[in-house]
């Protein structure tokens, strides 16, 4: 998606890169055959940090689990040096720590249960070796600091074979050479000399040597601490949080409002978008997702249940009632049906890294928008067009309301999103690319891959719309098995600088690289 305007007019266009060959990397929380998945263990949020060295997941039980990358450290061993000869490095992550972010609550005023489920996680700027992140459930946002703390262990003394307890104090008849007892709060209680003589027995001739307690080792433990709680600002369920590029503020969005927060101030927020009508019977659309521009701190985008995306400029007014740009695809005459508005609802939006494009996901498609062109998407990717004849069944079992996320690669050349039967799709966006890969969240991701005939691609720079179906010929699963609407891949994230994907299939976290 790079700007090619500076290239010579006579220079032939470069051929699109070949489709990536995805390989299995790791799995965390793999299920055994027939194992029942607990509801609280199902992953509900995934997010890489900006460096790609840390990955966070949240689950329906309110827990946040952190992973850190291990293959980017210094290579000193022979095997590590040999591994550098290969062009593709195998990404490796390991479990770092976990903590309970949210607990179930009950709103007594509204008689409403508040789930502990983590809806979104966003990384903040790290400082002094500590990691910072925001996590939210339906009502409350929390700001967490995760840092290594050194734990000092004290060596024992040699008075009558003492036994160390706790933090290095000595248990036994000779517990101390002082004339008092040290209390837990640092106080000092005096004792009589008689009681001291009863407790301390000195051998005849004294001790040949006295080993004083010293710090023997420094161990590090990871400690997660909640720095701030941002609460009581949303009447409806929070669906999005997004950090600002200024590093100081963030937004939170629910169905009808978007609030602006300062990270340092938890008791006050500013309402910047309010779509609530004076009469709720006049409500026609709700906010479904919101995202800050990655470079411009004054710009953000939010999507609606009608399939539109609005770009707003915070410099225009305190309450951004009017948008600066509106992105929507005009409906084809005669194509409207009962399901049209339901499947048009945007479930997720993401800015490209350079902020030039917006990727949106509705129920059936991925759409790529150029923020400089509001006449329509520059590319449309059909995710599971073969399900269109079954929309009635999907409506009956509520699957049509599933909220799938989407993501872009760091260079913007590919996009990805999830589908049913634990499948996810990867599409190429560069001019001329016909890449449309179907993968399964398993140890053999390519086993469901179907080779599709290549289609001539069109340049995004020509401002023409591209429709890449990539799977419309599939009336069922490629292996002939029926669709499993209970196993759906809703959450996935792309590494910010490498071709590496993290996908959540129920309680399992699968990682792939290409």
Q: For residue 261, what pLDDT band results from cuts at 50, 70 and 90?
A: very high
* Residue 488 in this model has a pLDDT that exceeds 90: yes
Of 171-175, 351-355, 505-509, least confident by mean pLDDT is: 171-175
Question: Quick one: three-class SS letters along 270-310?
Answer: EEEEECCCCCHHHCCCCEEEEEECCCCCCEEEEEECCCCEE
For residue 5, the model assigns a pLDDT of: 41
**Dihedral over Cα of 316, 303, 122, 368: its sign:** negative
Q: For residue 177, what pLDDT band results from cuts at 50, 70 and 90?
A: very low
Output the pTM of the full model: 0.79
Q: For residue 483, what pLDDT band results from cuts at 50, 70 and 90?
A: confident
Give the Cα-Cα-Cα angle 270, 127, 147 (nearest 5 degrees). Answer: 105
* Residue 189 in this model has a pLDDT that exceeds 70: no
Q: For residue 215, what pLDDT band results from cuts at 50, 70 and 90?
A: confident
For residue 242, the model assigns a pLDDT of: 97
For residue 87, the model assigns a pLDDT of: 52
Kindly state the average pLDDT of the residues 333-355.
90
* Residue 390 in this model has a pLDDT that exceeds 90: yes
Could you give the CA distance from residue 464 to residue 376 in angstroms, rounded to a whole number?
9
Q: For residue 405, what pLDDT band results from cuts at 50, 70 and 90?
A: very high
Beta-carbon count within 10 A of 104 CB:
12
Which letter, b or e, does each residue of 178-191 get, where b requires 16 or more Cβ atoms within 10 Å of its Cβ? eeeeeeeeeeeeee
Rounded mean pLDDT of the chain?
82
For residue 176, the model assigns a pLDDT of: 40
Q: What is the longest distance spanned by two Cα atoms in the chain?
A: 107
Note whether 259 and 308 are within 8 A (CB).
no
For residue 164, the model assigns a pLDDT of: 45
Residue written as token pair 């062009």: 87
Cα atoms in the Cβ-side hemisphere of radius 13 Å centred on 373: 16
The tens digit of pLDDT for each residue in 11-54 reads 555 678 889 999 999 999 988 777 888 999 999 999 999 999 99
DSSP state of 203: -
Residue 328 dihedral angles phi and psi, to the nearest 5°: -155, 150
Strand partners, 47: 56
Region of 398 on the Ramachandran plot (φ > 0 left; ψ -120 to 50 alpha; else beta): left
Q: For residue 507, what pLDDT band results from cuts at 50, 70 and 90?
A: very high
Single out the residue of 289, 300, 225, 232 nearest to residue 266, CA to CA. Answer: 232
Residue, of 215 and 479, whose pLDDT is higher: 215
């Amino acid at each position: 998606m790079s700007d090619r305007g500076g290239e010579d007019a006579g220079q032939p266009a470069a051929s699109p890169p070949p489709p990536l060959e995805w390989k299995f990397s790791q799995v965390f929380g793999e299920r055994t055959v027939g194992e029942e998945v607990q509801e609280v263990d199902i992953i509900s949020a995934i997010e890489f940090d900006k460096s790609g060295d840390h990955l966070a997941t949240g689950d329906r039980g309110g827990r946040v689990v952190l992973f850190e990358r291990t293959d980017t450290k210094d290579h000193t061993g022979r095997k590590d040096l040999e591994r550098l000869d290969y062009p593709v490095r195998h990404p490796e992550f390991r479990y770092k720590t976990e903590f309970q972010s949210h607990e179930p609550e009950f709103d007594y005023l509204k008689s409403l249960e508040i789930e502990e489920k983590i809806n979104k996680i966003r990384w903040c700027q790290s400082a002094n070796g500590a990691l910072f992140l925001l996590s939210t459930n339906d009502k409350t946002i929390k700001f967490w600091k995760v840092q290594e703390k050194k734990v000092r262990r004290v060596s024992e003394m040699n008075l009558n074979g003492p036994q160390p307890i706790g933090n290095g104090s000595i248990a036994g008849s000779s517990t101390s050479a002082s004339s008092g007892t040290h209390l837990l709060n640092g106080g000092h209680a005096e004792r009589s000399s008689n009681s001291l003589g009863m407790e301390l027995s000195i051998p005849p001739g004294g001790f040949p040597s006295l080993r004083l307690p010293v710090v023997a080792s420094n161990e590090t433990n990871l400690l997660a601490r909640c720095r701030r709680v941002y609460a009581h600002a949303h009447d409806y369920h929070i669906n999005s949080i997004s950090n600002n590029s200024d590093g100081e503020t963030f937004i939170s969005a629910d169905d009808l409002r978007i609030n602006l927060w300062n990270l340092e101030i938890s008791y006050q927020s500013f309402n910047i978008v309010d779509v609530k009508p004076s009469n709720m019977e006049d409500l026609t659309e709700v906010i479904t997702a919101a995202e800050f521009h990655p470079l411009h701190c004054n710009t953000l985008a939010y999507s609606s249940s009608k399939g539109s995306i609005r770009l707003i400029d915070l410099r225009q007014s305190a309450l951004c009632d009017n948008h600066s740009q509106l992105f929507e695809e005009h409906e084809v005459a005669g194509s409207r049906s009962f399901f049209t508005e339901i499947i048009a609802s945007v479930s997720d939006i993401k800015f490209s890294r350079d902020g030039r494009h917006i990727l949106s996901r509705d129920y059936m498609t991925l759409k790529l928008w150029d923020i400089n062109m509001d006449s329509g998407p520059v590319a449309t990717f059909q995710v599971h067009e073969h399900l269109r004849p079954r929309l009635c069944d999907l409506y009956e079992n509520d699957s049509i309301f599933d909220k799938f996320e989407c993501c872009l690669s760091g260079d913007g050349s590919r996009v990805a999103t999830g589908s049913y039967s634990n499948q996810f799709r990867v599409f190429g966006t560069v001019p001329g690319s016909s890449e449309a890969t179907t993968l399964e969240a398993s140890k053999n991701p390519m086993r469901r891959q179907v080779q599709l005939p290549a289609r001539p691609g069109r340049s995004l720079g020509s401002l023409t719309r591209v429709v890449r179906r990539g799977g419309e010929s599939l009336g069922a699963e490629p292996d002939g098995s029926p669709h499993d609407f209970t196993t759906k891949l809703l959450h996935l994230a792309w590494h910010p600088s490498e071709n590496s994907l993290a996908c959540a299939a129920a309680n399992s976290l699968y990682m792939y690289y290409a």
